[in-house]
Each structure stands twice: as structure tokens, then as C-alpha cells.
Chain A
Amino acid sequence: MTAPTTGTLDQVKAPTTTGVRGGRRPSWRRRWLRRDLLGVLPFFVFVAIFLFIPTLVVIIGAFAGDDGRPTLDNISALADGYIVDAFVRSITLSAVTAVLGAAIGALVGYAVVTAGPDSLVRRIVTSACGVLAQFGGVTLAFAFIATIGLSGFVTVFLHDHLGIDIFAGGVWLFDLPGLVLVYTYFQIPLMVIVFLPALDGIRPQWRDATESLGGSTWYYWRHVAGPLLAPAFLGSTLLLFANAFSAYATAAALVSQGSPIVPLQIRSALTSEVLLGRENLGKAMALGMVVVVALVMWLYGLLQRRTTRWLD
């Protein structure tokens, strides 16, 4: 059986014997039973189990009270000072590490591209980035604790040999500044990986053409390479934002006092043995996170449209 090359509705013969009202429209059932859709079925099942159902659970829970009755209490509790603060800090942390990671990662990526496609440098850097971008959670937190923690070997070395106390102003590693540092550490390699293909698309001939036509380096970046790379750069930055915004294990392993960011507030709502009955507040916070990411995606869509206009 061959599939139609273009799947527009009017090409499909309307069924003559089925009881579908009107008869002008095709029977969707017939289309669904198409064997070529079976190929997509596992994907749909996967999405349903791991994305759709959990999202539904979160949304339903966010609007349910402890007794299971619908309520807006959890949503209105999101306006509490400490939760608003957590959202602000989460967004700030994600934005700062995304921008830092994107800027540094783009520069590293550019350096790698100029080294040539088959060079040893490129192979080493991409392999290292592949490993480090996935190096998160407890292992990463422990690596930092062992290196620059209170008894970390760098901390002790600086203290004993150079008289520098990196924690003189407080133990910042276990607070927001520490999270910025550790998050940036896994953001940079991720940026390199996702941004390299875009950089590979920039042809050296374009630069030559710009220069032979009298354009300066600034002109080339401003009018040729910049606009070409902008959509990819913005998209990658957004991915980094989402990556940091949803990161949990790294922060959970580092921060034991207080819950500065939203994922840790959700942990507290689900597992606290002191403040009870806040499971659904946790789901409301999760819903809040979904909304934030959705807004960022929408913003990205707007930007994409703008940037494609520049390219036309």
C-alpha cells in the first residue's frame, strides 16, 4: 500500500458506505488505521506515558486540595513571598548561567571550528564537551565539594600556602553564587555541542567575499555572520535556560540549608517532615515552572520570526 505523496484531505476518497455525517469529509478512522501510522505509534505511546500523563497529574494536582476537591488555594499560595522569591532566583540563576554559558561556549565553539574539521583539537574538545555536558547531579556537586569545598584540596592549598581564605565572606559554594558557578560549568560544554553545527555552516568564502567588497571585520559580523548565527544562538541560549531551570540534583546535593530555587522548594513541599500536606502546592509550583518555560518558548518564537525576517 502506498501512502499519498501529499496528504491533503480533498485527495482522499470519501467513504460511501459509512455512516459519517455529510460524507464529504474523509473518515478519520480509515486514516488512522493506515499501517504507515503504526510507525509513529511507539513514539506517541512514549510521549503519552512520559510527558502527557505526568503533565496532566501536575495540572490536576495543582487545582486540587488535600481532600481531592477542586480549589484555587495552591495557585494563590504561589503569590507567597518565599515562593515568588524562589521563582525570581530560579529565573535569575537560569538566565545568568545561560548567558554566561552561551557567550563562553560560542567563543570556544568558534575557536574549535577555526581549528579545522578533522583536527585533533576539535576531536578532543567535542568528546570532552560530550562528557561534561552530561556531567551533572550528585557527581558534579561532589567534584566541586572535593575541590573547593570547606576541606577541598584547592581550598586547603590556598589557605595553607598562600594565606587565601576563599570562604572568608561566608560559605558561598552552598548558596546561590555556588550554584551559578557549578551550573555554568555544565552549561558551557552543552553550548559548544549544540552551537557547533551552526558555526560549521558559516563558510569562509563569505568572509572572503565581504573583505574583497571592502567590508571590515565588524561589518562581516554585524551584517553577515551575526544575522546568520543569531537564530541558532538564541535557540541554544533558550535550551541552556531550560536546562538550568529544570536542574535539580546538582542543587539538591549542594544546598542543604534553605531552598533558594523552585526545584528545591518543590522537594521541600513533597518531603518535609515539618510542614505537612503541601504535595499539591509542589504541583502548583511545577505548573508555575511549566508556565515560565512556555512563556520563554513563546518569546523565542517571536524572536525567531524577527530574525528570519532579517535573513529574507
Chain B
Amino acid sequence: MRFSIARGTALVAVTAAMVGLSACSPPSSNNEAAASDAAKATNAAALGGIDKLVEAAKKEGALNVIALPPDWANYGEITKAFTAKYGITVNSAQPDASSQDEINAAKQLKGQGGAPDVFDLGASVALANTATFAPYQVTTWNDIPAALKDASGTWVNDYGGYMSIGYDSSKVPAPTSIADLLKPEYKGKVALNGDPTQAGAAFNGVVAASLGNGGSADDISKGVDFFGQLKKSGNFLPVDPTPATIESGQTPVVFDWDYLNVAQGAKLKGKVDWKTVVPANAVLGSYYVQAINADAPHPAAARLWQEFLYSDEGQNLWLKGGARPVRADAMKTAGTLDNALFQALPAVSGTPVFLTDAQTKSANDYLAANWAKAIG
């Protein structure tokens, strides 16, 4: 076969272009000296006060957030308020991602302009990845209870809630306890928000079910057994609840955080009578964790975001979404907490249980080994 030189060169050029395309990564946004100052700042004072931080953040002009659904703890309104206040664009990626997805994205996008600046994580994922966070102490640092933050500010609890049962009161009777859900009235109607071996909310649903069935924070086998019975009786519904499934009546009973169930009820007002109950004998609480990506492409905006979240305004916005902000007690004392919103939270009776890291770990291991068997 004859082969012209021109064509050969064209092919080489095309190949080279292909290799080039796959080898180059997009340039990262800005690498000024100011950015490196912000990336090292462990509080606003280090940059010369909050005004200087705002200035640096405005210069960056953007903030990358990840895994923040707009209807989760009022994040939709929070991001809008942040943009309105500082004129900084919030780029929200993968709203339905898991905590592990956030860490994966930070790893994969390291050094690129699209990497996440800040994380909102479940406790176990946060504790396993502290090496990738930048320590930062917000101005309201002293209001946060010591048990709910890392001493250096590597991670800080942000908002919490209790595991609850949301239900469509036009379709099912009000459950008074977790054991009620085994009754025939709930056949094919009880859903968990996710798979407990993958999603934090669902995992906590199983723990709460254990508390409600004679188990404890150290023994979640009763919870796994409960869902096994639920499956056997045909009451368990293997569907991932979303606002759409709730509205269309596919998932009439949902185990989820109280702030998520409350938000659903508010959103569907007038369409579905969605009520939220925190079962009396099974009050399981948990806080989520805020952290700053050590390789944040917008280090100043990331820190300003934290300042905003932990300001009175940010905390009340979380409260508006049904979540219990971490500074609630201090703000109550100072009179800055929105009391009307606080009174509207679901009633909780009994002593709330919070899992320790060790308890979480052993519960995870038990679940990994036994969940599939119980539900399979």
C-alpha cells in the first residue's frame, strides 16, 4: 500500500492532539499571593479581620459546594442568601452525592478550579479524612460546645437532628412507636432514606429502630432484626424516597432526619398531609460536620462561607430548614435565636442518644456482615 507523507503527518498530529487533550487538565483559577494567605489563615484575624476576608473572597468571586440538596436543611435559601450578601457565585455540584463522593471529588479534582471548597459530611467520613481539611476557627468559635468541634477547628459540627418517622396521615394511621410499623396497616408502605450500608441517614434509621426495640447504642442487632421482620411481613418498601415519591404517594412512611421530613411537609403543604414524629423511646441524634478543603480553589470564599454559616443569620437559616444549629444554646441565651422557628421543631421526649465513634464503627461492621442477610 502507498502512504503519503502528508497523511502520515496528519495522523501523527491528530494522535498528538488526542494525547494532549487527555493529558492536560484545565488551568486552576487564580494563584495569587492573596489566595495563599487565605489558604493558610486559621481565623479571620490572621487576614486582618472579617472585612479583609470579605474583600479577598469577593476577589475570588466564586465558591464551589458539593452534595448540598436545596431542600436539605434549607441549603437552597442559604446559598441564595450568601450570594445576595456578598455577590459571590455559588457553584453547586452533585446535590445528591454521598459524603464519600465529596471526598472522592476533592481527590479527583485536586488542583483544578472546579474542586469543592467546602464539605458538609457525615461524622464517620469526616473523621477518616481529617488530613485533607484546613483548620479554621470562625468568629463565633466560643459559642460552639467543646464536644461538637475539633480543638483546632479542623472539623466543626454544624447542625443536627433526630431520626424521625415521616408519614402521610391521609394514608396511614399515626405511628406511636417504631414497633407499630409492623402492623398490617403499613403493608408495603415503610421506606428508609437510602441503603444503610451506603447512606448515613438510613444507617441511623436502623440504629433508631434498634433503640425502639430494646437494643442500645452498643447493640444494633435489634434494629437489623426489626427490618428483617418488616421485610418478611411485606411492610418494607425497597424504594428510595424522594420528594416525588412522597408526593405521588409511593412512599407513605419514611425513616429520615426530622429536618428532612419537616421540610418535606412544608414543601407539600396543601398537597400531602405529611407529618413528622420522633418516636418517644428511640431518640437518636446526630450532627453533620463542616470542613474546608485544604486544596480549596477559593480559600477565602471557603472561609467566608464558614463565617456565614456560623453567624446568627446562617444558624437561623438552618433552623428554618428544621435543623438544630450547633450554636442554638448560646444564641438562646443571647436572644438571637428565632424562637418561633425553634418552637416549631418536632417535640422530643426522652433522653437523646448520640453514637460515639467506637459505637458507630462497631455498628457499621455489624451492618456490613448482617444487613444483606436480614433483608435479602
Residue ranges of A at the interface with B (Cβ–Cβ < 8 Å): 1-3, 35-36, 38-39, 41-42, 45-46, 49, 82, 85, 149-151, 167, 170-171, 174-175, 255-259, 268, 270-277
Contacts and interface: CB of A to CB of B under 8 A. Distances in A.
Contacts of B249: 151
B100 interface: yes
21 contacts: A2-B2, A36-B1, A38-B11, A39-B11, A151-B248, A256-B239, A257-B238, A258-B195, A258-B376, A268-B195, A268-B198, A271-B97, A272-B198, A273-B98, A273-B121, A274-B196, A274-B367, A275-B198, A275-B364, A275-B367, A275-B368
A211 B2 CA distance: 51
Interface of B: 1-3, 5, 8, 11-12, 14-15, 18-19, 22, 97-101, 104, 121-122, 124-125, 128, 188, 192, 194-200, 203, 234, 237-240, 248-250, 364, 367-369, 371-372, 375-376
Chain A at the B interface: mostly helix, strand, loop or mixed?
loop
A146 to B, nearest CB: 11
A277 B128 contact: yes
Contact of A171 (B203, B238, B375): B238
A172 to B, nearest CB: 10
B11 A42 contact: yes
Contacts of B238: 171, 174-175, 255-258
A281 B103 CA distance: 17
Nearest to B372: A82
Given A151-B250, A171-B239, A275-B197, A1 B104 contact: no
A85 B372 contact: yes
Given A174-B239, A256-B240, 18 more contacts: A1-B3, A42-B15, A45-B19, A82-B368, A167-B188, A170-B188, A256-B238, A257-B375, A258-B195, A259-B197, A271-B97, A273-B200, A274-B124, A274-B197, A274-B203, A276-B100, A276-B124, A277-B128
CB-based closest 6 A-B pairs: A256-B240, A257-B238, A273-B99, A272-B198, A150-B250, A273-B98
A273 B199 contact: yes
Contacts of A258: 195, 238, 371-372, 375-376
A270 B239 contact: no
Nearest to A34: B3
A192 to B, nearest CB: 33
Contacts of B368: 82, 275
B188 A272 contact: no
A150 B1 CA distance: 62
Contacts of A82: 368-369, 372
A210 B213 CA distance: 74
A273 B198 contact: yes
Contacts of A46: 18
A268 B100 CA distance: 10
Contacts of B364: 274-275
A113 to B, nearest CB: 36
A41 B98 contact: no
A148 B100 CA distance: 33
